[in-house]
Chain A
Amino acid sequence: MQRTDAELIRRSREADGDAFAELVRRYEKRVFGIVYRMLDDYAEATDITQETFIKTYTHLDQFDDERPFMPWLATIALNLARNSLASIWAKRQALDDDLSSNTDEFTCLEVLDEVQSVLSHLTPEQREVIVLRHISDLTYEAIAEATGEKVSTVKSRLFEARQRIKLLRIHEEAKL
């Protein structure tokens, strides 16, 4: 019989490693999805996913059992991914400065899948609402809570982002 999230969380609080592993298995794909779709970097996304679950574990006492688990998890993942994104950007900036003075070198960027390459045309804020809606399946209200924005802002950002994606895909298809 499948155990409920609440039960697994309760057992994890008592340091039951098997229960926590089960909980991780249940959510790892979605957490990895959020982080990977935001960062475009496999190694970094794996690290951040791991960090998210470790942080979750150490803060389980602060989680309210009455609420669904995914929004809370997504908030932790999002904050870690935001921090990581900031340092990735700083690194890329430094690399760009470096490259402009030495044109012989080139960088080996990770090959992006179709979704990644479309998402790369969005602003980081649009990207956040898209991944939280489509990968963690959060409601507008939960996304607002996770991002610290108003529900109306989340909605307009999400709708704009999808419009842009729709156009980008039409554009991509036209190129083929």
Chain B
Amino acid sequence: MMCLSDDELQMLADNALDKKDRTRALSHIKSCAHCQEQYTQIQSVFTFLESEPAVNLPAGFADAVAACAVGKYPPLADTRLNISVAQPVPTNQVRTKRMQNRIKDIAIAAVVAITLSILLNWLSSNSLGTAVDALGYDLDTMDIPFAYAMLLFTLTIGVFVIDAFMYRRFNKLNIHGRDRK
């Protein structure tokens, strides 16, 4: 058999020969000192080229990049890795988050205000009614606190629903972050 060409030897090293040619080439190399020497040289070029660079990425690179990609944290330029950010968090995600936070704040404020007003109302009506009439409440006056209680109950449920919805949205966008490490 003829000696292997340089291209054939390189393809052998690249694992790019079909099975038949590969077997033939390997058996030739075994019996031919010249081709064996050539093949060894190619393999040494491979080893050389595949040696790792002396430098590497900073530790924690993957986590930082992933966090930046999913928008969990502000741009990476602010992190301790100090890697400049290529692409900021998509603004529509930031906007959605901001809007959701605003709705939540308004809802909480409304509940607090209503609860306070009900409590004050209740207390004042009790003290104004005084002890004399304390037992004399009829159903008409009882209706007012009852209506307030129903309103409060409905609002609480509403806030729970909004909160649950937002929690799910945050988790999906991975910007909730509070219960993650």
- Partner-B contacts on A (CB < 8 A): 14-18, 20-25, 28-29, 32-33, 36-37, 42, 46-47, 49-51, 53-55, 57-58, 113-116, 118, 130, 133-135, 139-140, 155, 158-159, 162-163, 165-166, 169
Name which of B53-61, B112-120, B151-159 contacts chain A: B53-61
Q: Which one of A17, A49, A165 contacts B70 once the chains associate, using CB atoms below 8 Å?
A: A17
In the bound complex, do residue A50 and residue B83 qualify as a contact, i.e. CB atoms below 8 Å apart?
A: yes
> Contact size class for B?
35 or more
In the bound complex, do residue B41 and residue A54 qualify as a contact, i.e. CB atoms below 8 Å apart?
A: no
In the bound complex, do residue A115 and residue B53 qualify as a contact, i.e. CB atoms below 8 Å apart?
A: yes
Q: Which residues of chain A have C-beta atoms less than 8 A from B87's C-beta?
A: 51, 54-55, 58
In the bound complex, do residue B62 and residue A135 qualify as a contact, i.e. CB atoms below 8 Å apart?
A: no
Mark B75-91 against chain A: 1 for CB-CB distance below 8 A, else 0: 01000000111110000
In the bound complex, do residue B50 and residue A135 qualify as a contact, i.e. CB atoms below 8 Å apart?
A: yes
Which residues of chain B (43-72) have a CB below 8 Å from chain A? 45-46, 48-58, 61-63, 65-70, 72
Q: Which residues of chain A have C-beta atoms less than 8 A from B58's C-beta?
A: 46
Q: Which residues of chain B have C-beta atoms less than 8 A from A47's C-beta?
A: 83-84, 86
- Partner-A contacts on B (CB < 8 A): 6-7, 10-11, 14, 16, 41-42, 45-46, 48-58, 61-63, 65-70, 72, 76, 83-87, 172-174
**Closest CB-CB distance, B47 to chain A, in whole Å?**
10
**Closest CB-CB distance, A61 to chain B, in whole Å?**
14
In the bound complex, do residue A166 and residue B45 qualify as a contact, i.e. CB atoms below 8 Å apart?
A: yes
In the bound complex, do residue B48 and residue A169 qualify as a contact, i.e. CB atoms below 8 Å apart?
A: yes
In the bound complex, do residue B66 and residue A17 qualify as a contact, i.e. CB atoms below 8 Å apart?
A: yes
Q: Which residues of chain A have C-beta atoms less than 8 A from B65's C-beta?
A: 21, 24, 28, 50, 53-54
Complex alpha-carbon distance, A19 and B124, angstroms:
57
**Closest CB-CB distance, A48 to chain B, in whole Å?**
9
Q: Which residues of chain B have C-beta atoms less than 8 A from A17's C-beta?
A: 66-67, 69-70, 72, 174
